[in-house]
Amino acid sequence: MVTITLRDAARFGQMMLERGVFKGKRIIPESYFQSTFDTPFTGHSTSYKILGMEEEYKNQVWMIQDANLMYTAGSFGQYIFVDYKNKFAVVFMANWANNSIQKNLDHMLRIVLSVGEHIAKKQKD
């Protein structure tokens, strides 16, 4: 079991956004990101969908290729989402009795996608 604070989870999300670099120092090898994100998924399909988008699990993270994002899922509703398209990371620290309720994950993803749309719109303005 890993215990992590909100701040440390956000730092981890930022490091994942920067492909393993934190404060200018490489923490995770680039090869991890090439294997995880740049190499087509060739394993068994998880057959999971979230908001109608396929998600894949590889190298300890969930990926939603259609939205160009990844997320980690912790116990009781702790999630780190990284949106590579819009260049941001967001952390959720919930206190759910059951971490596998799909509507909760759907709701969080809707929030992440909405924030991403807002960021994209602001960048165009």
Counted domains in the chain: 1
Residue 21 lies in a domain: yes
Rg (CA), the chain: 14
Residue 76 lies in a domain: yes
Give pLDDT tens digits for 59-110. 889 988 888 899 998 888 899 999 999 999 999 998 888 877 888 888 899 9
Here the tokens at position 96 are: 């759910």
Q: In this structure, what CATH number is given to the domain that contains residue 16?
A: 3.40.710.10
Residue 1 lies in a domain: no
Residue 40 lies in a domain: yes
Partnered with residue 49 across adjacent β-strands are 54
Residue 65 lies in a domain: yes
pLDDT exceeds 60 at position 43 = no
B/e letters for 46-84, b = 16+ CB within 10 Å, e = fewer, are: eeeebeeeebbebeebbbbeebebbbbbbeebbbbbbbb
Residue 88 lies in a domain: yes
